[in-house]
Amino acid sequence: MSDELSKLPPAVQERLLRLQQLQQSLQATMMQKQQTELELNENDTALEELQKISEDTPMYKSIGSLLIKTEKTKITSELTERKELLNTRISVLTKQEERLRAQMKDLQTKLQQDLNPASPPPSEFTPPP
């Protein structure tokens, strides 16, 4: 494959390398998004469980290896803030994913044109009258 790659024009080689970079970035972005969605689901579950208990139920928050007594309202507030942050992060990652996919599609189209210059792109093809 490396031998075949060296036979290609430098511009095509650069595009292929750029495509690989975009694929890696897309994969990393998708993994981050998936992890963030999992954390959001855990956060939502915790908020749902908090609604089921009374205000005077003893609450503890894990800080490192310690459990610290706290109030339900404080925990609810922290989890709600975290939920907003996670939703924002998911939105940003979704936009980044869409942008990477569009860049990849554009680059793939250019590569196809580079590798098959005789055939016109499908959007520009018009049948003879």
Assigned domain for 8 exists: no
Helix, strand, coil percent content, the chain, rounded in steps of 5: 70, 10, 20
Domain that holds residue 109: 13-114
Taking residue 86's Cβ as centre, other Cβ atoms within 10 Å add up to 19
Instruction: Supply the angle between the helices 10-52 and 72-115 in degrees, to the nearest 10.
Output: 160
Sign of the CA dihedral 102, 105, 109, 115? positive
15/32 Cα distance (integer angstroms):
25
CATH number at residue 65: 1.10.287.370
Assigned domain for 97 exists: yes
What integer pLDDT is reported at residue 34 of this predicted model?
98
Output the pTM of the full model: 0.79
Assigned domain for 23 exists: yes
Average pLDDT across the chain, whole number = 90
Left (φ > 0), alpha (ψ -120 to 50) or beta: where does 64 sit? left
Least confident of 15-19, 59-63, 106-110, 120-124: 120-124
What integer pLDDT is reported at residue 33 of this predicted model?
98
65-88: average pLDDT: 97
Assigned domain for 102 exists: yes
Exposure on the CB side of residue 93, measured as CA atoms within 13 A: 19
Assigned domain for 6 exists: no
Amino acid letter, residue 83: K
| Domains contained in the chain, number | 1
What integer pLDDT is reported at residue 120 of this predicted model?
56
